[in-house]
Every structure is written in structure tokens, then in C-alpha cells.
């Protein structure tokens, strides 16, 4: 039976905190995550 592990990554932006839960053997692409959370780029001008 395979073992599935996950990890959480906590990030903070101008609007507060966000938690990403991902498979333990993967990495978070922070730039891509930022674009997904703020597709209009509104936080960049703050």
C-alpha cells in the first residue's frame, strides 16, 4: 500500500495569508501561485 504524504506552505500577501497543501514530493512555484491568486496584478501596485 503506497504512503501519501502532504506538506503545507503558508504564504502572506497584501490581503492576508494563504495555505497551499501539496504532495510532499512537489515544490511550490511561488510566482505561478501569485499569478493564480491575483491574475489582474492588483497587489503589485500596492
Asked if pLDDT for residue 6 goes beyond 60, the answer is: yes
Task: Break the chain into its structural domains and give their ranges.
Answer: 6-45
Q: Exposure of 40 by Cβ count < 10 A (0-12 exposed, 13-18 middle, 19+ buried)?
A: exposed
Q: What is the pLDDT of residues 8-45, one digit of tens each?
A: 988 887 788 988 899 999 988 888 887 887 777 776 55
d(CA 42, CA 36): 12
Report pLDDT for 43.
63
Number of helices followed by number of strands (H, E) in the chain: 1, 2
Residue 4 has what pLDDT?
87
Amino acid at each position: 500500500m503506497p504512503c501519501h504524504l502532504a506538506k503545507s506552505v503558508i504564504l502572506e500577501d497584501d490581503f492576508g495569508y494563504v495555505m497551499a497543501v501539496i504532495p510532499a514530493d512537489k515544490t511550490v512555484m511561488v510566482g505561478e501561485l501569485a499569478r493564480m491568486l491575483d491574475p489582474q496584478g492588483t497587489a503589485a501596485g500596492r
